[in-house]
């Protein structure tokens, strides 16, 4: 059965909620589909805060410079300017909508994070910033009658009409356990990142890059998929999730120590604990190899009262695992955290597929370049979510009713694409088992061969294995997972240098002469390079390999 709405948003994190609110102001019907419960997203787990140049000693030009410096030569200057300038406006609006950032004597409190030249990070309830933002945005969106939410509705593919424009989505209806189509005038992808492709990650299970796979299958261009940020400090305990120990802890003076108790970071970078994340992550891995022991984050210089007040969630979580933040250093390890690449967009969230828009972590606007500056992603989701919503409305006049709709799946093999979820109990169980096995294998390969340190042979082996796995009879959801893993590995193999979140052991240096370009991937085409992300400004031309 096919349903119909005016506009579809895929995802209920900061980008999706902000886009929905923007579009709904026009009176149009907006349907927000989300894979799990409405609050389950990367946004919900964001701890440290949101960067914005709002303090008295700060300027947007400084925020802009810091963002560009972190991006290792690949930031899109125009996109960064939009981020930092519009950021002030949209954060102010978020506060007006009831978001409670921490204050002291009525004034907003700003904390420090790595590679920021000013204290410019707003935070909520100490270390639960994302949760507070989601609360405020869901309250706002929930009060708008023309926004409806469809929770536990995992989108599998996009509907594409005869003119190549996006005309809706196919999703799994949780009630009847069958796929359903919804048609709409336009679709906004706000489905978040892909950290859960990796064995060790700070991301929740929903972050499997589905939006990237769906957009790719529909013919959209993806950019910079090789750039993955590994957060240096996730809790490292057997059989415990890789719970994030926020960068703000190092911002507040936290020290990394090796198994001998040595504070080792100065040996690797002059900024020590506040060096860029990729450098801290690799330094931790090296120290673990060198000492054959663990690395620890030491916060014992602070009083118990300070730690309980400043990092209540982290303090509690450590306590849950019988670790006392005030008395002992906490074992840490890097984990996949954020993907800089994604669906290529212009400055308004338009993708290269008509009537398909993207915002937030699923998108690649070029604001992060090869390495994201801490706390810039919540800001990106907010700013570009609103801008994508506006662009949807601006483009509405050019809308023409769709004809000859088909759905775009990761490959054109109809035997695999038409496996639905109505295939009977034993069929379902069998597919469920295959999907789980694929997931586990791919996540391990991504961690071991497409992770913090990459080599040509490792990447090639991962790609060969992905291809083998691809021959199995898989459902669209598993194919989406495999498709994103392949896109990351392929781009990582292509880029023969090291830059930002991409480190090749066999090409350990940054090579601006040959590689200060973005990778562009499109279905049925070789990887191309482009000088810019914004395709309105320049199209990719040169095919390198
Ligand atoms: C532990 C942690 C801490 C972080 N801390 C910070 C921080 O302090 N500051 C900062 O700026 N950034 C932080 N980040 C990064 C930041 O949270 C994310 O980049 C940002 O929230 C992404 O927002 P989004 O709206 O693009 O996606 P998300 O918030 O991830 O939302 C994606 C949505 O899409 C839905 N979805 C996914 N696939 C489908 C599908 N197939 N069908 C339907 N729905 C789907 C999901 O269910 C979810 O609702 C952190 C991330 C993590 C994991």
> Angle at Cα 343 formed by Cα 131 and Cα 333, nearest 5°?
50
Highest mean pLDDT among 106-115, 242-251, 430-439, 451-460 belongs to: 451-460
Rounded mean pLDDT, 114-131: 93
In the predicted model, is pLDDT for residue 540 greater than 80?
Answer: no
Tell me the DSSP string of 268-328: T-TTGGGS-HHHHHHHHHHHHHHHSS-EEEE-TTS-HHHHHHHSHHHHHHHHHTT--TTTS
With both helix axes pointing from N to C terminus, report the angle between 129-142 and 14-24 in degrees, rounded to the nearest 10: 20
Nearest-CA residue for atom 20 of ligand 1: 43
Closest by CA to 102, choosing from 312, 272, 293, 250, is 312
Q: Which atom of ligand 1 is nearest to the CA of 130?
A: 17
pLDDT digits 0-9 by tens, 208-249: 999 999 999 999 999 999 999 999 999 999 888 999 999 889
Tell which one of 14, 43, 481 to mutate to probe ligand 1, the residue whose CB is within 8 A of the most ligand atoms. 43
Q: What CATH code is carried by the domain that includes residue 287? A: 3.90.700.10
pLDDT digits 0-9 by tens, 57-83: 999 999 999 999 999 999 999 999 999
Q: Is 343 inside any structural domain?
A: no
Neighbour-count burial for 383-418, b at 16+ CB within 10 Å, e otherwise: bbbbbbbbbbeebbeeeeebeebebbbbeeeeebbe
pLDDT digits 0-9 by tens, 252-288: 999 999 999 999 999 999 999 998 888 999 999 999 9
pLDDT digits 0-9 by tens, 36-54: 999 999 999 999 899 999 9
User: What pLDDT does 433 receive?
Assistant: 79
Rounded mean pLDDT, 321-335: 97
In the predicted model, is pLDDT for residue 300 greater than 90?
Answer: yes
User: What pLDDT does 541 receive?
Assistant: 45
Task: Check if 119 is active-site.
Answer: no
Q: Is 452 inside any structural domain?
A: no
Q: Which atom of ligand 1 is nearest to the CA of 129?
A: 8
Nearest-CA residue for atom 21 of ligand 1: 43
Alpha-helix runs per DSSP H in 297-411 = 304-310, 312-320, 376-394
User: What pLDDT does 409 receive?
Assistant: 78
Q: Is 416 inside any structural domain?
A: no
Q: Is 319 inside any structural domain?
A: yes
Q: Is 482 inside any structural domain?
A: no
Q: Is 30 inside any structural domain?
A: no
User: What pLDDT does 538 receive?
Assistant: 63
In the predicted model, is pLDDT for residue 501 greater than 90?
Answer: yes
Pick the more confident residue, 472 or 343.
343
In the predicted model, is pLDDT for residue 545 greater than 70?
Answer: no
Q: Is 317 inside any structural domain?
A: yes
Contacts of 250 (CB under 8 A, 6+ apart): 114, 233, 256, 273, 274, 297
Q: Yes or no: say if 170 and 156 are a contact pair by the CB < 8 Å rule.
A: yes
Rounded mean pLDDT, 516-529: 97
Rounded mean pLDDT, 164-191: 93
Confidence category of residue 544, pLDDT binned at 50, 70, 90? very low
Pick the more confident residue, 80 or 473.
80
Q: Is 141 inside any structural domain?
A: no
- Could you give the percent of the chain with pLDDT greater than 70? 94
In the predicted model, is pLDDT for residue 150 greater than 70?
Answer: yes
Nearest-CA residue for atom 27 of ligand 1: 192
Nearest-CA residue for atom 33 of ligand 1: 11
Rounded mean pLDDT, 187-201: 97
pLDDT digits 0-9 by tens, 371-422: 999 999 999 999 999 999 999 999 999 888 888 888 887 764 433 333 333 3
Rounded mean pLDDT, 321-328: 97
Alpha carbons 520 and 342: distance in angstroms, whole number: 10
In the predicted model, is pLDDT for residue 123 greater than 60?
Answer: yes
Rounded mean pLDDT, 18-33: 98
- Report the DSSP beta bridge partners of residue 276: none
Rounded mean pLDDT, 289-303: 97
User: What pLDDT does 471 receive?
Assistant: 84
Q: Which of 277, 372, 443, 504 is catalytic?
A: 277
Q: How remote is the CA of residue 374 from the centroid of ligand 1, in Å?
A: 14
Pick the more confident residue, 360 or 536.
360
- The domain of 268 spans 228-336
* Torsion angle, alpha carbons of 256, 260, 261, 266, to 10: -50
User: What pLDDT does 1 receive?
Assistant: 61
Domain count within the chain: 1
Q: How remote is the CA of residue 340 from the centroid of ligand 1, in Å?
A: 13
């Amino acid at each position: 059965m096919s349903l119909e709405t005016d506009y579809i948003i895929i995802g209920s994190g900061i980008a999706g909620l902000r886009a929905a609110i923007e579009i709904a102001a026009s009176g149009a019907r907006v349907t927000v589909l989300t894979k799990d419960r409405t609050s389950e997203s990367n946004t919900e787990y964001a701890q440290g805060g949101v960067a914005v140049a709002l303090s008295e000693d700060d300027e947007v030009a400084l925020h802009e410079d810091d963002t560009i410096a972190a991006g290792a030569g690949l930031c899109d200057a125009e996109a960064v300017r939009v981020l930092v300038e519009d950021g002030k406006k949209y954060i102010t609006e978020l506060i007006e909508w009831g978001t409670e950032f921490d204050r002291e004597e009525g004034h907003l409190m700003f904390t420090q994070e790595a590679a920021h030249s000013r204290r410019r990070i707003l935070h909520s309830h100490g270390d639960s910033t994302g949760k507070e933002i989601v609360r405020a945005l869901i309250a706002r969106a929930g009060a708008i009658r023309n926004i409806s939410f469809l929770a536990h509705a995992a989108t599998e593919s996009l509907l594409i009409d005869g003119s190549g424009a996006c005309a809706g989505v196919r999703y799994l209806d949780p009630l009847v356990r069958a796929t359903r189509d919804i048609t709409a005038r336009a679709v906004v992808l706000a489905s978040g990142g892909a950290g859960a492709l990796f064995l060790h990650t700070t991301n929740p299970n929903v972050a499997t890059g589905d939006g990237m796979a769906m957009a790719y299958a529909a013919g959209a261009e993806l950019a910079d998929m090789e750039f993955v940020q590994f957060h240096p400090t996730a809790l490292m305990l057997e059989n415990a999730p890789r719970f994030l120990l926020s960068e703000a802890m190092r911002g507040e003076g936290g020290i990394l120590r090796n198994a001998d108790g040595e504070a080792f970071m100065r040996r690797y970078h002059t900024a020590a604990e506040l060096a860029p994340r990729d450098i801290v992550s690799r330094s931790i891995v090296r120290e673990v190899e060198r000492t054959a022991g663990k690395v620890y984050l030491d916060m014992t210089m602070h009083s118990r009262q300070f730690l309980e007040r400043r990092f209540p969630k982290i303090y509690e979580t450590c306590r849950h695992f019988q670790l006392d933040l005030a008395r002992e250093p906490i074992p840490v390890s890097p984990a996949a955290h954020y993907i800089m690449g994604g669906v290529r967009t212009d400055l308004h969230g338009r993708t290269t597929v008509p009537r398909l828009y993207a915002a937030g972590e699923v998108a690649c606007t070029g604001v992060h370049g090869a390495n994201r500056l801490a706390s810039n992603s919540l800001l990106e989701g907010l700013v570009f979510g609103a801008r994508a919503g506006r662009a949807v409305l601006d483009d509405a006049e050019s809308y023409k009713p769709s004809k000859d709709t088909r759905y775009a799946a990761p490959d054109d093999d109809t035997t695999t694409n038409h496996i639905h979820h109505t295939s009977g109990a034993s069929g379902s169980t069998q597919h469920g088992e295959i999907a789980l096995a694929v997931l586990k294998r791919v996540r391990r390969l991504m961690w071991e061969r497409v992770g913090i340190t990459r080599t040509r042979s490792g990447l090639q082996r991962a790609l060969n294995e992905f291809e083998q796995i691809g021959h199995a009879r898989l459902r669209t959801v598993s194919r989406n997972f495999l498709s994103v893993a392949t896109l990351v590995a392929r781009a990582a193999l292509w880029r023969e240098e090291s830059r930002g979140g991409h480190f090749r052991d066999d090409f350990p240096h940054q090579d601006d002469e040959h590689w200060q370009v973005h990778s562009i991937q499109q279905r049925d085409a070789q990887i191309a390079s482009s000088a810019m992300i914004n395709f309105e400004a320049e199209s990719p031309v040169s095919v390198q390999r």
